[in-house]
Structure 1
Amino acid sequence: MWQKLKDFSKKDPLIFTLILAVVLVVGGFGSIQMMHATSTAEFCKTCHPKEAVEVRGEYYSFKRGIHSEAGVSCLDCHGAPGIDGYLNAHVVAGMRSLYHEIFTSEEQVIKDLTKFATDPKAAEHAASLESCVFCHSDDFNKKMRRDKVIKVLGEFRFIDDVKNPEFREKFGRPDIMTEGPIGVNPDHLKHYKAGVTCFDCHLGIGHAGVKNHKPKMETCFKCHDENRNVAKVPANDNCAQCHTMQKGNQQGTYAKTVKGDKWYMADLNCTDCHADAFTLPTPETCAGCHDASYADIMKDIQSTYKQKLAQAQAVRDKYAAQTKGMPAAKLAIYNEMKNILRVLENDGSKGVHNPEYFDLMFDKVPELATAIDTWKPEEKKAEAPVQAKAAEEPKKEAAKPAGPVNSADDMAMLEGSETINLAERHVPAPTKPAVIFDHKGHAERVACADCHSEPGVLKFEITEVKGSKNVFHDELCIKCHKERKVKASCNTCHKK
């Protein structure tokens, strides 16, 4: 056979060379196509076909996670970034998996897959830690792209084209090594330098079968307790060290684009309300320090919060379905909305930690929805000459002084009631500091008819004033404050 080929190559070297070239091209093309075909998550389903969140159901559980939603596939996580990581995962590990599928008992395969899913050290051999930081960190991404050959002869994986910060900003995600995620901020960089791996805390994140799989607090406590004498780690009762979101919400500053007021109880210690790290306060907890009306206040706040959250989530989900191909500037508006929803969804107090601040966040959602709907790409205009621009600018008229809101006769009727102690008039046994209503100050800015049907008579009947559900809150003060964008926190009116 070989002799015949040698003879043929000598007899017709040109034809032989052409045939050899065709064979190499066709073979190479076929090999590349085969690599592409076997690099998909759907191909992995061949050996992981179960439709359940369990061993052999890895495809099913993965498709229900946030990574699949972002376009990530199996080999993006199970192989390190770079062509070497791809070949190692696809060829070397792939051949090993094929061997086990053919020659290893099903019982042993199940045992091995279970170990990968439950043992952090074993998981390091099944998935790549480098892929995590490659996608979620800017510095690691740039370093690996500089030091590795990422792709050859085209793109084989989604991860090949991941460039930060553009990639993570597309999804509204923070750089985990410098910013920290919304919610609990564990200081990933400090943990990384201490030798803690992604799998130590996030084991199962790819195959949990849910969109947002978070580490359990028990994991944090267990590790911190084990290393208490080895490294300087926060005490388990140092809540604010990691729970930065709760503190930020109480200060009215956490959401980057929503600024509010400090909650009047923000200076309390966590342990004043939380019996321990795993026990949430109940309405009865409030009543234990205050009176029974505070239990109703907590119930009202949380009930309203849940209703508003459901409405905001529906708005977010509507636009989530439209993000594919959305222009970057428009997508940034959606990501702002999505991040506000993340804050709202992660607040375990369900609004209690700063009700007025959360209301501002809820109000921001429809504003952003309108911004998305009305968004238009900016049109580049040629710069007009200075003289022409000056001619186009309309002349500004001098501001006219605003006239009085109420007549002189109306203002005269205020004599003797410039300020009113509302508790003395309407609340026999107040549980909060009495509201000293600045009657004159309001009359200088608000029309009498906004509150009064006739002089001395309020438009709303004042019945029992107890808890947060009363006429002053629902119809008069808070409603008006929100409409006019005036501070509406408790201590705005109930001053100590």
Structure 2
Amino acid sequence: MWQKLKNFSRKDPLIFVLAIIVIVVGATFGGLEAMHMTSTDTFCKTCHAEQRVGVRGEHFTWDKNIHSKADVSCLDCHGDPGIIGYLDAHVIAGTKSLLYQIFVSEEKIVELLTHAATDPVAAEHAAPDSACLFCHSDDVNQKLRREKLISVGIHFRNIDEVKNPTYRTSYGLASITGEPVTKGVEPNHAKHISAGLLCTNCHIGVAHGGELYNKPKMQTCFDCHDTVREKVQTVPANEDCAACHTMQKGLQEGTYVKGVDEMRWYMADLSCSDCHDSAFERPNSDKCVMCHDDSYASIMTDTQEAFAERLAEVKGKYAQLFSEREDMPMGKRALFNEYARIIRIAEMDGSKGVHNPDYLDALFTRALELTEAIDTWTAPVAEEAAAPMVQKAAAEEAPAAPAFAGNPAELMEIASAMEIINIAEKYVPEPTKPAVNFEHLAHAQKMACTECHSDPESGVLKFEVGEIKGMKNDFHEKLCIDCHTKQRVKKTCNTCHK
């Protein structure tokens, strides 16, 4: 046969060379197509197809996770970034997995997969830290792109297209090795990584827990901190909740989200342990009535029910917008990322609104404003970009609106003499909330005294004040809340009870 090929090559060398080129090109094309076909999550599903959480259900759990929603597929995580990492994961590890399927018993395979899903070191071997940090850290992404051959012009998997900070900011994410995480616990990733921890030490099962988001277990933190605390003095005490739970503290203080007016809660200075007897059990209404009157039990329930309704309302368009985000222009996508962040914060607030009801309500209002802004978004042009500045200048030049002029001078003198009235001093000697310091003069400048008083000169109100206790009292129902609602005044509990 070799002699025939030799004779053919001598007889028709051009045709021989062309034949060799066709064979090489065909083999290369066929090989690349085979690699593409066997690199998809659908191919992986062939062996990991069970519809449950656990071994053999890896495709099922991945499909429920945020990684799948962001088009992060199996080989994006199960292999180092770059061509060498891809070939190692696809060819070497893939061939090994195929041989196991043929020659190893199901019991042994289940044992190995269980070990990889429960042991942090084995899990990191299956899904290396370099893959996690390539997407979630600017520093690591840029370092690996300098040191490795990432692409040869052929698209094999999504991770090799990732260039930070562009990629992560398109999702509204922080660079975890250089910035604080902006949702939930702030663990200081850089410090943990420099201490030698693997991503899987905390995020075991990050894509295979059967949930949209992976939440590290607090017991994992406690166990590790208890072990190293004697050697590392900076490790926070387990009872120092706010050291790590910065989101919950920020919500309680009403300062967590930029672009939303701060609303300091009247109980913002409470420590976590004032309500939480255990780090692993949330308090119920029984805890409320230990300090407050019985009406607070229903307040807590009502607050959480209202929170659930509003969360469902603002999430109404989330799935649709998330599916559209890849095609959104950057300006529109920035609005979506802000909207998505507010939803994520609300979902992670374990109190379901109780930490700061008014502030969370303001976040929901902001989320709805963002959905409207997304729906009406148009690409800015030079004239449109200049419009806000023109409007601002006009507003600065416009004269201030005149004060209300309906009250006679003698009543305004009384209002001036009693500019601020402490309601508690007269009606509630032992208030359960901070006393309301009523801005008497400010109200008299905006509205008629007869709106509240039947006899303004003597200070007699239009109603007889009964017991001032809990939410349902005459001041709330006959004056403040009803008037604020009619006048569309954006006031919150914190505005008056401060």
- Normalising by structure 1, report the TM-score: 0.89
List per-residue Cα deviations over 1:214-266 (Å, max 9, x = no partner).
Answer: 01101111111122223332211121111111221222211122231322222
CA shift for structure 1 position 364 = 0.7
Q: Which runs of 5+ in 2 are unaligned?
A: none
CA shift for structure 1 position 383 = 12
In structure 1, the partner of 2:272 is 270
1:36 aligned counterpart, secondary structure: helix
Q: In structure 2, do the counterparts of structure 1 residues 2 and 237 end up closer, same or farther at CA, with 3 Å as the change threshold?
A: same
Q: In structure 2, do the counterparts of structure 1 residues 168 and 449 end up closer, same or farther at CA, with 3 Å as the change threshold?
A: farther
In structure 2, the partner of 1:106 is 106
- 2:253 is the counterpart of 1:254: no
CA shift for structure 1 position 485 = 5.9
What are the equivalent positions in structure 2 for 1:312-327 lying under 5 Å apart?
312-327=314-329
Q: In structure 2, do the counterparts of structure 1 residues 462 and 29 end up closer, same or farther at CA, with 3 Å as the change threshold?
A: farther
Bigger shift: residues 292-301 or 147-156: 292-301
Q: In structure 2, do the counterparts of structure 1 residues 184 and 27 end up closer, same or farther at CA, with 3 Å as the change threshold?
A: same
Q: In structure 2, do the counterparts of structure 1 residues 266 and 122 end up closer, same or farther at CA, with 3 Å as the change threshold?
A: same
Q: In structure 2, do the counterparts of structure 1 residues 404 and 349 end up closer, same or farther at CA, with 3 Å as the change threshold?
A: same
In structure 1, the partner of 2:296 is 294
Q: In structure 2, do the counterparts of structure 1 residues 112 and 14 end up closer, same or farther at CA, with 3 Å as the change threshold?
A: same
Q: In structure 2, do the counterparts of structure 1 residues 465 and 408 end up closer, same or farther at CA, with 3 Å as the change threshold?
A: closer
Contact 2:9 2:16 in 1 (8 A): yes
Cα distance in 1, alignment partners of residues 354 and 396 from structure 2: 48
In structure 1, the partner of 2:39 is 39
CA shift for structure 1 position 186 = 0.6
In structure 2, the partner of 1:444 is 445
Q: In structure 2, do the counterparts of structure 1 residues 13 and 318 end up closer, same or farther at CA, with 3 Å as the change threshold?
A: closer
In structure 1, the partner of 2:212 is 211
Contact 1:478 1:488 in 2 (8 A): no
Q: In structure 2, do the counterparts of structure 1 residues 478 and 131 end up closer, same or farther at CA, with 3 Å as the change threshold?
A: farther
What are the equivalent positions in structure 2 for 1:129-168 lying under 5 Å apart?
129-168=129-168
* RMSD after superposition: 3.1
Cα distance in 2, alignment partners of residues 187 and 73 from structure 1: 27
Contact 2:412 2:441 in 1 (8 A): no
Contact 1:406 1:443 in 2 (8 A): no
Contact 1:330 1:372 in 2 (8 A): yes
Counterpart pick for 1:365 among 357, 364, 367:
367
Contact 1:334 1:368 in 2 (8 A): yes
Q: In structure 2, do the counterparts of structure 1 residues 402 and 209 end up closer, same or farther at CA, with 3 Å as the change threshold?
A: closer
1:437 aligned counterpart, secondary structure: strand
Q: In structure 2, do the counterparts of structure 1 residues 185 and 2 end up closer, same or farther at CA, with 3 Å as the change threshold?
A: same
Whichever residue aligns with residue 81 of structure 2, its letter is: P
In structure 2, the partner of 1:488 is 492
Contact 2:406 2:448 in 1 (8 A): no
Q: In structure 2, do the counterparts of structure 1 residues 136 and 300 end up closer, same or farther at CA, with 3 Å as the change threshold?
A: same
CA shift for structure 1 position 313 = 2.0
Contact 1:55 1:110 in 2 (8 A): yes
In structure 2, the partner of 1:84 is 84
Whichever residue aligns with residue 405 of structure 1, its letter is: F
CA shift for structure 1 position 103 = 0.7
- Normalising by structure 2, report the TM-score: 0.88
Whichever residue aligns with residue 23 of structure 2, its letter is: V
Cα distance in 2, alignment partners of residues 331 and 449 from structure 1: 50
Cα distance in 2, alignment partners of residues 141 and 241 from structure 1: 28
Q: In structure 2, do the counterparts of structure 1 residues 420 and 121 end up closer, same or farther at CA, with 3 Å as the change threshold?
A: closer
In structure 1, the partner of 2:469 is 466
Contact 1:170 1:331 in 2 (8 A): yes
Bigger shift: residues 187-196 or 4-13: 4-13
In structure 2, the partner of 1:387 is none
Cα distance in 2, alignment partners of residues 461 and 154 from structure 1: 80
Cα distance in 1, alignment partners of residues 251 and 482 from structure 2: 22
CA shift for structure 1 position 433 = 4.6
Cα distance in 2, alignment partners of residues 145 and 424 from structure 1: 68
- 2:49 is the counterpart of 1:49: yes
In structure 2, the partner of 1:194 is 195
In structure 2, the partner of 1:374 is 376
Cα distance in 2, alignment partners of residues 259 and 200 from structure 1: 38
Contact 1:296 1:467 in 2 (8 A): no
Contact 2:82 2:150 in 1 (8 A): yes
Q: Which runs of 5+ in 1 are unaligned?
A: 385-389
Q: In structure 2, do the counterparts of structure 1 residues 125 and 187 end up closer, same or farther at CA, with 3 Å as the change threshold?
A: same
CA shift for structure 1 position 160 = 1.2
Q: In structure 2, do the counterparts of structure 1 residues 474 and 365 end up closer, same or farther at CA, with 3 Å as the change threshold?
A: farther
In structure 1, the partner of 2:411 is 412
Cα distance in 1, alignment partners of residues 414 and 259 from structure 2: 43
Cα distance in 1, alignment partners of residues 156 and 427 from structure 2: 73
Cα distance in 1, alignment partners of residues 163 and 482 from structure 2: 47
CA shift for structure 1 position 474 = 5.8
What are the equivalent positions in structure 2 for 1:385-424 lying under 5 Å apart?
399-400=398-399, 402-409=401-408, 412=411, 415=414, 418=418, 422-423=423-424
Whichever residue aligns with residue 225 of structure 1, its letter is: D
Q: In structure 2, do the counterparts of structure 1 residues 149 and 289 end up closer, same or farther at CA, with 3 Å as the change threshold?
A: same
Whichever residue aligns with residue 242 of structure 2, its letter is: A
Whichever residue aligns with residue 250 of structure 2, its letter is: G
Contact 1:414 1:440 in 2 (8 A): no
Bigger shift: residues 346-355 or 461-470: 461-470
Bigger shift: residues 17-26 or 364-373: 364-373
Contact 1:300 1:468 in 2 (8 A): no
Bigger shift: residues 258-267 or 11-20: 258-267
Contact 1:261 1:489 in 2 (8 A): no
Cα distance in 2, alignment partners of residues 94 and 187 from structure 1: 35
Counterpart pick for 2:239 among 226, 237, 243:
237
Q: Give identity over the alignment, percent.
A: 52
